[in-house]
Amino acid sequence: MAATVTNTDRVIDAAIGGGGPRGRGGNGFRKNGGGHHEGDDFRFSPARYRVGVWVAIASIVMLFTALSSAYIVRSASSNDWTPLVLPKVLWLSSAFIVVSSITMEISRRSLKAQNNRGYRLWLTNTLMLGIGFVAAQLFAWRQLARQGVYMASNPHSSFFYLFTAAHGLHVLGGILALTYLLLRTRRKTDTVEGELKRVGAADAATVYWHFLDGLWICLFLLLFFWK
Amino acid sequence: MAEASHDVAHRHEPPKSFIRKYIFSLDHKVIGIQYILLALSAVIVGMLMSVLMRMNLSWPGTHWPIMGTLFPTGAPGGVMSAEFYLSLVTMHGTMMVFFVLTTAPQGGFGNYILPIQIGAEDMAFPFLNMMSFWVTFVGFLVLLLAIFAEGNATVGAWFTKLGESAWAGGSGTVGSIGGWTQYAPLSALGKVAGPGQGAGVTLWIISIAIFCVGSLLGALNFITTLLNMRTRGMSLMRMPLTCWAWFTTAVLALLSFPVLLGGGILLLLDRIAGTSFFIPGGEYVSGALIPNHAGGSPLLWQHLFWFFGHPEVYIAILPGMGATSHILSTFARKPIFGYRAMVFAIFAIGMLGFFVWGHHMFMSGMSPYSAVAFSILTLSIGVPSAIKTFNWIGTLWGAKIRFTTPMLFAIGFVSVFVAGGITGLVLGQTSLDFFFHDTYFVTAHFHLVMGVASIFGMFAATYFWFPKMFGRMMHEGMGKLHFWVTFVGVYAIFIPFHAMGMLGMPRRYSNFSEYEFLKNSHGLVLFVTVAAIVTVSIQLLFYFNFFWSMFKGKKATDNPWEATTLEWTIPSPPPHDNFAGVVPTVYHGPYEFSVPGAPRDFIMQTEPEGVEVTAGLGETSGNGGNGHKH
């Protein structure tokens, strides 16, 4: 949590009755019974987005854990395992998504600092990088297809297509979220609740985007560097 | 954002249009009732299938003219074919496990009651909540479609156009064959594997995958709501046990459904994309070599499936445990015995459930060492289960019990849970499972402990919360008749199942008349069929009571059962935003019954402290075996 107390922080703290910026740190889980405190005047707290996104991440992790364990079992269970040669374009897509994680963080911090222009700018950059990532992944698919490597060609290619598709679908979800946030910046939010929702949604989207980045790195390592 | 507007500013008006109010509603109460209606529809299909199975087992080869008319290919001349029977087994299991036992307890009652019990005006993400129901509903439709794609020649022909192997339809079954576990490799091969293996299995997989997504959206919502939306003073240890049960269930769903989804995707790819995740090389089916596949592992499917499948049985039963604890305490007019122990036990059961999936696979050729580990972990679930059982009995001990219909069903829950759970200790031993595996003993075990017990939990919940949901009481006389016939009926069905299992009668066989060693047990089979038909028939009375009481039942007061939790502080039925914009404050634990010195024998959770409450009772409802004797 940032050490500086910004106006947004104050607004949020006033709203959820937290004690300074730390009050809404962590995962939004409150020991005093959660919910509402003396003097709170509305029932929305941005923590629910934060909790929600972590819970969602837990389930996505389980999906990929299941698929990865299938990958490991399958690679050991027979002698037809012929790994793909790493398509070079994947380095580019990996670079895209790692950098997009950084730009997303800058964008989030800009919002925290109430720098709306910076927020919009870096959000746009993140979105572009995200689209670039998906495009690079599709390019890798086309390259492989041109070489005659398809889903059913061998077990490794099956898993390659499966992992990139499953991850790509989640990235598309992230891109939708970023687009939504970007469209939100065009609308003026006057109410404290509206502002809270916007900040909460941006926070959650950032967590999710970092997760997509980390997930891709894990899959990339598993697919091409795990023996 | 004026501070003074605290009480009135946040009243949410209900939507006006019919569609937004009753169909695509964001209100957790409407969504809860939608889930319950979905389960009430699915359970009819499931029950009809079980009656057809019993008819076929008892009177094999009989001509049932109506069957011949409805399913000319599956039951030519009205005689059910073996494949037809197997598809009944599969669809009965799928319908019941997914669309009844997973929807009603969690999506239905959890959705309706949990936000109110924690003092929230709705779920954390109402839109996701709506999506979770409608996604589940689409899954249900796809499963129904599987019935027609295989059972009806015309619909089957439409599907066959999509693909000769994986989509071939019209084979004369009612859906897929393969049991609710849909074991690979047969389920991965398509039409070549036999009748019901074309469009039936493909649609089955798609339906279950859709169902997984719906459940995940629901679980996400439950967990966030419970962690984030509790009202002032509603600490974790002041939550009703129902909320703990729904929360644990949501955690289980959140972590296990993705695994089934992953497995389902792999299975689907094997069928339609030519991959070999589960299909080994050199496999012969019906005398033909399966080409173009090699290297897959059928066991992998079993691991993925049961990693989901075991937590799934707790997803079905835990909400029933929560409702039972809640209802037992209410009608025993005593605090629940050992509240904290109950919370830890329910969580322990949930978590242990993730480490025992191997006990479904003792016969798969696994290493005896892993089998022993799975066996010990499995038996250790007996500990928290016994804690719960003893605490239920402790709650009833010495109580002046009010034998209402919900109470009868809650006591019935304890009974069938113990009766069914005890055989889990038998089946959890590798040596005994060697004999009992795939016999009727297993069928008896899981029907009692997960099927009947959770249904009893849901009956208890229905009779208990009906007045809150619809503002009218269900008819007690009909309810009691329903209870006694059902209670005797389920034992009459499932106790003989144990005996059949011990005789070695195998599951999933359509006809026992050819087996010399089973000739003598035909009387038992007939007896079960009669019991099943009686038990199913009495459920019609429940349906009648349910819908009749909705309109003609006695008007209910806000708190007809003299219960303590938050849902009984608001009108029946509750307004659109539950607490009419007021944020309730909680001062007490959920089960403060018969507190000495209190003017009534119960203290509402919202009653301010200080007037009549003796010191030291604020934190939890205590463990008092005899109430609060100081």
How confident is the model over B598-612, as pLDDT tens digits? 889 999 999 997 654
Q: Under a CB-based contact definition with an 8 Å cutoff, are residues B481 and B408 in contact?
A: no
Taking CA–CA distances from A56, the nearest residue in chain B reads: B220
Mutate: best of A29, A30, A43, A191, partner B, most B CBs <10 A:
A43
Q: How far is CA B155 from the centre of its chain?
A: 31
Strands B288-289 and B284-285: antiparallel
**DSSP assignment letter at B174:** S
Distances (CA, A) of B99 to A55, B134, B210, B413, B547: 24, 13, 12, 20, 21
What proportion of chain B, given as a percentage, has pLDDT over 70? 95
CA distance B241 to chain A (A): 16
**Whether the predicted pLDDT of A30 surpasses 70:** no
Give the three-class secondary structure for B625: strand
> What value does the CA radius of gyration of chain A take, rounded to a whole number of Å?
21
CA distance B293 to B593: 65
Minimal Cβ distance to A41: which of B3, B119, B124: B3
Residue A2: pLDDT band (50, 70, 90) is: very low
Residue contact B295–A79, C-beta within 8 A: yes
B216 touches A: beta carbon within 8 Å: yes
**Whether the predicted pLDDT of B350 surpasses 70:** yes
Minimal Cβ distance to A28: which of B2, B228, B233: B228
ipTM metric:
0.92
What pLDDT, on a 0 to 100 scale, did the predictor assign at position B84? 94
Residue A192: pLDDT band (50, 70, 90) is: confident
Give the three-class secondary structure for A123: helix
Residue contact B304–A151, C-beta within 8 A: no
What pLDDT, on a 0 to 100 scale, did the predictor assign at position B620? 43
The pTM for the full model equals 0.91
Residue B624: pLDDT band (50, 70, 90) is: very low
Closest by alpha carbon to B279, among B294, B268, B265?
A: B294
Residue B298: pLDDT band (50, 70, 90) is: very high
Q: A151 to chain B: which residues are within 8 Å by CB?
A: 269, 273-275
Taking CA–CA distances from A71, the nearest residue in chain B reads: B277
What pLDDT, on a 0 to 100 scale, did the predictor assign at position A119? 95
Mutate: best of B123, B239, B275, partner A, most A CBs <10 A:
B275
- Which residue type does B519 have? K
Give the three-class secondary structure for A195: helix
Mutate: best of A30, A55, A81, A192, partner B, most B CBs <10 A:
A55
Taking CA–CA distances from B583, the nearest residue in chain A reads: A36
Q: Under a CB-based contact definition with an 8 Å cutoff, are residues B592 and B564 in contact?
A: yes
Q: B307 to chain A: which residues are within 8 Å by CB?
A: 66
**Whether the predicted pLDDT of A116 surpasses 60:** yes
Task: Find where tokens 């309706």 sit.
Answer: B112
B55 touches A: beta carbon within 8 Å: no
What pLDDT, on a 0 to 100 scale, did the predictor assign at position A15? 41
**Which two structure tokens, joined as six digits, stand for A31?**
């020991």
What pLDDT, on a 0 to 100 scale, did the predictor assign at position A40? 44
Minimal Cβ distance to B304: which of A35, A39, A66: A66
For residue B288, the surrounding DSSP H or E stretch is strand B288-289
What pLDDT, on a 0 to 100 scale, did the predictor assign at position A33? 44
**Whether the predicted pLDDT of B206 surpasses 90:** yes
Closest by alpha carbon to A219, among A163, A162, A148?
A: A163
B257 touches A: beta carbon within 8 Å: yes
Distances (CA, A) of A96 to A135, A216, B530: 10, 11, 67
Tens-place pLDDT, residues B410-456: 999 999 999 999 999 999 999 999 999 999 999 999 999 999 999 99
**Whether the predicted pLDDT of B13 surpasses 80:** no
Residue B545: pLDDT band (50, 70, 90) is: very high
Residue A67: pLDDT band (50, 70, 90) is: very high
Q: Tell me the residue length of chain B.
A: 630
B259 touches A: beta carbon within 8 Å: yes
Domains and CATH numbers, chain B: 30-277+293-552 (1.20.210.10)
Task: Find where tokens 């009748």 sit.
Answer: B195
CA distance A142 to B583: 57
Q: B581 to chain A: which residues are within 8 Å by CB?
A: none
Q: Under a CB-based contact definition with an 8 Å cutoff, are residues B342 and B590 in contact?
A: no
What pLDDT, on a 0 to 100 scale, did the predictor assign at position B11? 64
Q: A34 to chain B: which residues are within 8 Å by CB?
A: 227-230, 234
Q: Under a CB-based contact definition with an 8 Å cutoff, are residues B321 and B458 in contact?
A: no
Direct distance between the N- and C-terminal alpha carbons of chain B, in angstroms, rounded to an integer: 48
**Whether the predicted pLDDT of A21 surpasses 50:** no
Residue contact B300–A191, C-beta within 8 A: no
Mean pLDDT, range A140-162, rounded to an integer: 95
**Whether the predicted pLDDT of B210 surpasses 90:** yes
Task: Find where tokens 């402790």 sit.
Answer: B394
Give the three-class secondary structure for B391: helix
Residue A148: pLDDT band (50, 70, 90) is: very high
What pLDDT, on a 0 to 100 scale, did the predictor assign at position B76? 87
Q: Kindly provide the residue ranges of all beta strands, DSSP E only, lying in B364-479, ordered along the sequence.
A: none
**Whether the predicted pLDDT of B8 surpasses 90:** no
CA distance B215 to chain A (A): 11
Q: A31 to chain B: which residues are within 8 Å by CB?
A: 235
Q: What share of chain A is helix, strand, coil (3-state, %, to 5)?
A: 70, 0, 30
CATH code for the structural domain at A7-224: 1.20.120.80
CA distance B181 to B207: 14
Residue contact B294–A58, C-beta within 8 A: no
Minimal Cβ distance to A42: which of B10, B125, B277: B10
Q: Under a CB-based contact definition with an 8 Å cutoff, are residues B447 and B518 in contact?
A: no
CA distance A39 to chain B (A): 8
Lowest mean pLDDT, pick from A15-19, A92-96, A163-167, B92-96: A15-19
Tens-place pLDDT, residues B482-506: 999 999 999 999 999 999 999 999 9
Taking CA–CA distances from B306, the nearest residue in chain A reads: A66
Task: Find where tokens 């040596």 sit.
Answer: B431
Which 370-399 residues of chain B touch chain A by CB within 8 A? none
Mutate: best of B117, B127, B132, B227, partner A, most A CBs <10 A:
B227
Q: Tell me the residue length of chain A.
A: 227
What pLDDT, on a 0 to 100 scale, did the predictor assign at position B514? 87
Minimal Cβ distance to B259: which of A43, A62, A166: A62
Beta bridge partners of B232: B585
Any residues with CB less than 8 A from the CB of B569 and at least 6 apart, and which? B558, B559, B584, B604, B605, B606
B466 touches A: beta carbon within 8 Å: no
**Whether the predicted pLDDT of A107 surpasses 50:** yes
Mean pLDDT, range A72-95, rounded to an integer: 92
Residue contact B220–A151, C-beta within 8 A: no
What pLDDT, on a 0 to 100 scale, did the predictor assign at position A43? 56
**Whether the predicted pLDDT of A88 surpasses 90:** yes
**Whether the predicted pLDDT of B321 surpasses 80:** yes
What pLDDT, on a 0 to 100 scale, did the predictor assign at position B486? 98
Give the mean pLDDT of chain B: 92
What pLDDT, on a 0 to 100 scale, did the predictor assign at position A185? 86
Mutate: best of B127, B228, B303, B586, partner A, most A CBs <10 A:
B228
**DSSP assignment letter at B173:** S
Residue A193: pLDDT band (50, 70, 90) is: confident
**Whether the predicted pLDDT of B9 surpasses 80:** no
- Between B62 and B6, the more confident residue is B62
CA distance B619 to chain A (A): 12
- A to B CB pairs, distance under 8 Å: 154
Mutate: best of B224, B243, B271, partner A, most A CBs <10 A:
B224
Assess whether the previous peptide bond of B185 is cis (omega < 30° from 0): yes
Q: Under a CB-based contact definition with an 8 Å cutoff, are residues A79 and B281 in contact?
A: no
